[in-house]
Structure 1
């Protein structure tokens, strides 16, 4: 967490939490969801405005965490902004050199792999549960064929419960 965020938390410890205004889709893109977008429909059917500003995305990603109940959030200074998740809190990117990174750029290693009822490939890592990015499925298929992963079938609901992940945190 950024030092400026930690300082703001100490200075203003009782700022109310924010819900419904930030979302993460299955491709690792962040979306702002203002009141008009929230009224137009649920995420991900109505996504909102994709956050394209690199510095803002980096700030969100450095201050992205979860609470004890499995709700993921962005700590925006003294305010906790809870994130709506399309499928999982992490989107995994695979590289030709064999590395696995989160959508935020953090390196990690998979300890288990699953295919859900929709055919999504999800991985468990020390960071938590995440979805393999759709653009990296060609590499993922090769890694499965090479024996690096042996995915088991499991429903998304079971995986979310097992990893204590809330897709849509509520107050």
Structure 2
């Protein structure tokens, strides 16, 4: 194609920056996957991670929707690990029953076998001033008898302010 001097080819429209793309994706949902094996008693149909995007002052809530094969009683607990890349930032154990009570969850322990939506609340890290970046969150829940309940790996992004 021959162009005369002074004519410019129009530039394509600008693409959204990575932060805009991340925020748009986060507004839809955070990616999460089931990391439990066949021995775990909650068989997930789906997993939701909210809020998306993260909101200052609100806890991260991972909800596992599925079929609970046995009842879960007081004493159940969740091991939560937060990583930034390969660096482990936080590793803590939370009492599942206390977490459900503290957040007025729609389900409380004991939970009977059957279809259930079991929320896991984690607010200590993401509810405050968290540096921007992408974090991996592992939540591995166990019954009061140390039997595997559910395991979830989620990826969340804290956008630039």
Tell me: higher relative CO, structure 1 or 2? Use CA pairs within 8 A at least 6 residues apart: 2
- As a proportion of its length, which structure holds more strand? 2
For normalisation by structure 1, the TM-score amounts to: 0.21
Structure number with greater Rg is 2
For normalisation by structure 2, the TM-score amounts to: 0.22
